[in-house]
Amino acid sequence: MTTEKMHFEYPVEGGNFSAAGFPSSQVKKTLKQLNVDGNVIKRTVVALYEAEVNIVAHAFKGVIAVDIDTEKIHIRLTDEGPGIPDIKKAMEIGYSTATPEVREMGFGAGMGLSNMKTNADSLVITSEVGKGTIVEIINYFHK
C-alpha cells in the first residue's frame, strides 16, 4: 500500500460513448497495483463507470477527479449539463430520460444510479437544473 496520495483527472465528453470506460479501467489498474481488495475494486469500477456514462448520456461535458490515499478512494464527477430536477425520482430503478438512440445501445434502463448506490460506501449527488451535477463517490479499502 502506498504512503503517498494520488490524484488523477479525466475529461469526459458528452455523447462520446466510444471513449467511455477508460477512466474506470485506469482506476482499476491503479487499485490493483496498490493491492486493494478485489471486491472494493469491483464495486469502485461499477460505480465510476455508471457515473461516467451518465455524463456521456445526459450531460454536455465533465471532469472526473480521483483521489486515492491509504484508506480510501474519493471520486468526484462534475458536469455541465441539464442537471437533475428530482434526484429521489432519478434514483428509482427504471426511471430514465435517455434518448431513443441511447436506449438502442442498451443504456437507459434507469439502473445506473441504483448500481452506484449499491457499489459505493458513500454516494452524494448535488445538482442544479440548467447548470450541472456533482456526483461524489467514496469507497474505503478496509471496512
Partner 1 sequence: MTVSELVTKLGLNVLSDETGLERQITGGYTSDLLSDVMGHANAGKIWITLQTHKNVMAIASLKELAAVVLVKGYQPEADMLAQSNIEEIPVLGTAEEAFEISGQIYKLLND
Ligand X SMILES: Nc1ncnc2c1ncn2[C@@H]1O[C@H](COP(=O)(O)OP(=O)(O)OP(=O)(O)O)[C@@H](O)[C@H]1O
Please report, as ranges, the residues that interact with partner 1 according to CB under 8 A. 17-18, 20-21, 24-25, 28, 42, 45-46, 49-50, 53, 105-107, 109-112, 114-115, 118
> For residues 36 and 56, which CB has a smaller minimum distance to ligand X in the complex?
56
Residue 79 touches which of Mg ion, ligand X, partner 1, none (CB < 5 to 8 A by kind)?
ligand X
Would you call 35 exposed, middle or buried from its count of C-beta atoms within 10 A (0-12, 13-18, 19+)?
A: exposed
Residue 26 touches which of partner 1, ligand X, Mg ion, none (CB < 5 to 8 A by kind)?
none
Residue in 120, 129, 127 with CA at minimum distance from that of residue 50: 120
Binding positions for ligand X, rule: CB under 6 A: 50, 54-55, 57-59, 79, 81-84, 90, 95-98, 107-113, 133
Phi, psi (5° rounding) for residue 108? 90, 20
Contacts for 9 with CB less than 8 Å, ≥ 6 apart: 63, 64, 65, 66
Instruction: State the residue for C-alpha cell 500500500.
Output: 1
CB of 26 to ligand X, least distance (A): 20
Binding positions for Mg ion, rule: CB under 5 A: 54, 112
> Residue 17 and residue 39: Cα distance in Å, rounded?
26
CB of 63 to partner 1, least distance (A): 19
